[in-house]
Amino acid sequence: MSQADNWQGDVLRDLRGGGRQPAPQGGPGPAGQGATPPPPPPGPGQDPARPAAPQAPAPQAPHPGGPHPDAGPRIPSAAPRPQSHAPAHAPGPGPAHPAPARAARTPDSRPAVDPSLAAASRKPRNGEPFTARAARAIWRTVSSSVAREVAEVSRIAESLQQPVTTGRQIAVTSIRGGAGKSTVAALLGTTYAHYRQDPVLFVEADPALGSLPIRLGAESLRWTTGDVADIVQPQMSLLDITGYLVQLRDNAWLLPGSQGQIGAMLDFRSYERAMVALRRYFGVTVVDCETLPAEVARVALTASQACVLTTPATLDGVASTHAVLQWMQGLPPHVIGGTVVVLTEQAPHSGIDTDEAVRTLASTGTSVHVLPYDRHLADGGEIRTDLLAQATRTAATRIAADAFRLSQKRH
């Protein structure tokens, strides 16, 4: 990989500071010589609780006339009407061309939600009451603004389908818990997967019992970000990589941060190895970060092309976020210029004037959006786009388009 294409790796190495020495070339990193990653997931019919037999196939050599294995592929242009297409094999059996095995236990698959808690969930509600949906349908019938709405949707869809030559990484974070960070990350990634043809990756960089897998409807979890950091090799194809990921709808994939276990850890070195190795396989990667100022979150923000900062639509939430944005004004201009702020309404009637809050936060030079209250989102659980309120779908699409536009400005 040329230095022009490996800007992210340089940034991450610089972030560790000049006092630290780089890891030896033969270390556990994905590109280190002599690295021996763990075996792939078990094949069909094999007991998942029993480790797969060690295999040691020779690594695939690059095609003589093909690109260098470290060079990121050129993502094809997106068509006006993208079609979702899954890989030729299910993710369970593992990569088609596994990397050499080492003496390490293959992790067991665990359910994303404890089966004993399944009965506690109720039938998901629609995001808005029936009366509101009926009134909107009548209004659309008699209103003359339908054509403008269609034109706006077409414009946003076109911006979301812009081609990329290197994968775009968009980090979603907050300065406190309960700000809707995982919900916004799930909405953004789902929007990209719907509009784009290239693969979309969700990365959970918050191992502390994060809710992203539940919001995305994942049934079981196996390989985590820390596991994959020592597995991915430059010669592996997308088909190999997806064997370690959770397959979602619309050509989207999830790499969880943990298996829902208390005490799971993710250090920034494992995160950076995984992200530098994976970024070339996916057109857009949405990273659900820890809350600031956690170490992994700082690394993710530094290496991403755009940042989405979520905050509850409350007086203390807006005040804290405004103080953070004022501090960010003293950083390099691309930091605050690549930030999108999302005010999440968590009650039907917000306790603040959201229009005034938007004006105040936007005065710092950031782009600000409001994600309105939605009964379906407030209930938790898997997000079903068909049950979201119309205002929620519109807001999520605009936020996704704005973050993607900002990510295109940084290389």
Q: Specify the 3-state DSSP secondary structure of 148.
A: helix
Tell me whether the omega of the peptide bond preceding residue 59 falls within 30 degrees of 0, making it cis: no
pLDDT tens per residue across span 338-356: 999 999 998 888 788 999 9
Q: What is the DSSP string of 291-312?
A: STT-HHHHHHHHH-SEEEEEEE
pLDDT tens per residue across span 176-233: 888 899 999 999 999 999 999 999 999 988 766 678 998 998 888 888 887 888 888 8
113, pLDDT greater than 90: no
User: What is the separation of C-alpha 374 from the centre of its chain, rounded to a whole number of angstroms?
Assistant: 21
Answer yes or no: are the C-beta atoms of 231 and 173 closer than 8 Å.
Answer: no
Q: Specify the 3-state DSSP secondary structure of 278.
A: helix
Q: What are phi and psi of 311, to 5 degrees?
A: -150, 140
- Tell me the longest C-alpha to C-alpha distance in the chain: 69
Q: Which is more confident, 138 or 398?
A: 398
Tokens linked to 18: 């000049």
